[in-house]
Amino acid sequence: MKMLIDFLPIAIFVVVYQMTKDIVLATAVLIPATIAQVLFTWWRWRKVEKMHLVTLALVVLLGGATVILGDGDFIKWKPTVVNWLFAVAFLLSPLFGGKSLIERMMEKNMTLPSPVWMRLNLAWVAFFLAMGAVNIAVFTHFSEEVWVNFKLFGMMGLTFLFIIIQGVYIARHLPGDEKTIKGTDPYGKEK
């Protein structure tokens, strides 16, 4: 359910765009949809992930510029800015507390050697950098409609593929006695 909530604003954006072919209108709908997503998340779990707050700030800032100036290029930069900010956060995370960001996020669910955590973290850095660059390539070399579809389907598909590859890599490095990974929801509550 959480994943559905995470993708709902962008799905609404794509639907509005497909119905109207108007990126400014679709962005005008995206802004309150993203605000509603964050408010619902807070209401449901009494916690909002930093990722959602960063995304909300960029949707309001770049989406607001798109709506006010009537220029869709501002919202097209949002995925690149978000991905590159996450790349920086993952890259710099070991400097603050000695642990990588991926380890902090997943250590309650599994135990992995430190070098594996660092390789996973660097893989996420590379992934976020690549996704930001691919977004630029798509919005500069293809039509607006192709970019809108890529934003939902392409980015989501590439993210799922990366997560699957990461899961295979993690499975190879789990200690032998750790047959199952403890289940928790995204906010640390036991399933």
Q: Identity (one letter) of the amino acid at 116?
A: V
* Cα 22 to Cα 16, 155, 163, distances in angstroms: 8, 21, 32
User: What is the per-residue pLDDT across 96-149, written as a single tens digit (0 to 9) for each?
Assistant: 888 998 999 888 888 888 899 999 999 999 999 999 999 999 999 999 999 999
Q: pTM value?
A: 0.83
User: What is the per-residue pLDDT across 8-34, written as a single tens digit (0 to 9) for each?
Assistant: 999 999 999 999 999 999 999 999 999
More confident residue, 32 or 181: 32
- Phi, psi of 6, rounded to the nearest 5 degrees: -60, -40
For residue 147, which of 64, 83, 75, 82 has the smallest C-alpha distance? 75
User: 17 near 150, Cβ under 8 Å?
Assistant: no
